[in-house]
Amino acid sequence: MTDLPAPATASRTGQPFARLRAALTAPPEPAKRVQFDRPLLPWLFLLPQLLVICVFFYWPSVQAITSSFYLEDPFGFGATFVGFDNYTDALRASEYRHIAAFTAFFTAVVTVAALGLGLLLAVKADTVIRARGPYRTALISVYAIAPPVAGLIGMMLFDQHIGPFVKLAAMLGWEMKVGIDYWDTAFAMILVSVWKQVPYNFIFFLSGLQAVPASVREAALIDCRNGWRRFRTVTLPLLAPTAFFLLIINITYALFDTFAVIDVMVKDKPANNPMTLVYKVYNDGFRGNDIGGSSAQSVILMLVVLVLTLAQFRWLERRVHYG
């Protein structure tokens, strides 16, 4: 290898793989100064996790990607390779675009509202001295409620016969028909989804606020009497890392974890009701039996999550560097 100068192109294409191989086989940057040196034992410890991951993560994921390139026969007689047809079909369909637009709108509203409310309550809970504990307990308890239960309670509150929200809206001259009218249902879905997510944001913002050293708070108090300005120039920048982390988490929540809320609230009648992309993946796959199309949509969503997670990792890295 050394006496023959390799062509420039070959070395350029060869290098990334060589680097990858080196990176994968090299001993990792040790997590500990001293480590055990046994050939078999670590594999034994890793085995259960690896088994579960291979069978229940990699196998289905690979299958999702493969079947997104095939058109499955609805009667189960084999499948034909169709290349990117499933993707282009999905992306071209006006229904898909419509749902994607609603998903974006839904995600944006839920994220902004849940973050805003969580931040407001955390800031207030941080400033009060009296009854801080009870407030905190009251505000975090809803965290543990499952999305479908939240959806069910929401359904009741917006019920045509017994729902107090419907009566309240009627008093304001708004004839609310959740489950029938598209935007009324969307409103109820958003409200329930926000309600469910506020405690999570509250917990993180509050612990972020409480990590601000007392000396910084006091200095800020002396330098700046105006509470709002103090919040904007001192507290908010200090909370920025927490807020960014929560932003990603909230987007992921609105995209995926609201599935149950939507499923409960549209009551198996997605016809004229709003839904998100994840719900469509499920609906097309299990109801419509369109396995190829559903897989292609899965893969598109995987890419969205991938981008979000990479953004999160970048942030993690930054945080490590600048502490």
Q: Is 48 in the site for other proteins (CB under 8 A)?
A: yes
Q: Is 221 in the site for other proteins (CB under 8 A)?
A: yes
Q: How many residues bind other proteins (CB under 8 A)?
A: 102
How far is 259 from 193, CA to CA, in rounded Å? 10
Residue of 18, 101, 112, 145 interacting with other proteins (CB under 8 A): 145
Residue 155's identity, in one-letter code, is M
**What are the structure tokens assigned to 248, written together?**
């990603």
What SS3 state is found at 179?
coil
The span of 75-83, 84-92, 230-238, 251-259 binding other proteins (CB under 8 A) equals 251-259
Is there a contact between 291 and 73 (Cβ–Cβ < 8 Å)? no
Q: Which helix (H) or strand (E) holds 72?
A: strand 70-72
Q: Is 222 in the site for other proteins (CB under 8 A)?
A: no
Nearest CA-CA partner of 242 in 254, 250, 231: 250
**241: which residues sit within 8 A by CB, 6+ positions away?**
208, 315, 319
How far is 170 from 185, CA to CA, in rounded Å? 16
Is there a contact between 235 and 309 (Cβ–Cβ < 8 Å)? no
- Cα 32 to its chain centre, rounded Å, is 32
How far is 320 from 201, CA to CA, in rounded Å? 22
Using CB under 8 A as the binding rule, the residues of this chain from 81 to 110 that contact other proteins are none
The span of 3-11, 80-88, 104-112, 117-125 binding other proteins (CB under 8 A) equals 117-125
Residue of 23, 171, 172, 271 interacting with other proteins (CB under 8 A): 23
Q: Is 232 in the site for other proteins (CB under 8 A)?
A: no
* Cβ neighbours of 81 (radius 10 Å): 9
CA distances from 49 to 29, 53, 57 (A): 22, 6, 11
Q: Is 216 in the site for other proteins (CB under 8 A)?
A: no
Q: Is 15 in the site for other proteins (CB under 8 A)?
A: no
Nearer to other proteins, 11 or 289 (CB): 289
Residue of 7, 60, 74, 116 interacting with other proteins (CB under 8 A): 60
Q: Which helix (H) or strand (E) holds 70?
A: strand 70-72
Using CB under 8 A as the binding rule, the residues of this chain from 161 to 200 that contact other proteins are 161-164, 167, 195, 198-199
- What are the backbone angles phi and psi of residue 254, rounded to the nearest 5°? -65, -35
Q: Is 301 in the site for other proteins (CB under 8 A)?
A: yes
Nearer to other proteins, 56 or 174 (CB): 56
Nearer to other proteins, 82 or 157 (CB): 157
Nearer to other proteins, 166 or 186 (CB): 166
Q: Is 264 in the site for other proteins (CB under 8 A)?
A: yes
Q: Is 317 in the site for other proteins (CB under 8 A)?
A: no
Q: Is 30 in the site for other proteins (CB under 8 A)?
A: yes
Nearer to other proteins, 15 or 61 (CB): 61
Residue of 18, 93, 138, 216 interacting with other proteins (CB under 8 A): 138
The span of 3-11, 125-133, 168-176, 180-188 binding other proteins (CB under 8 A) equals 125-133
DSSP 257: I
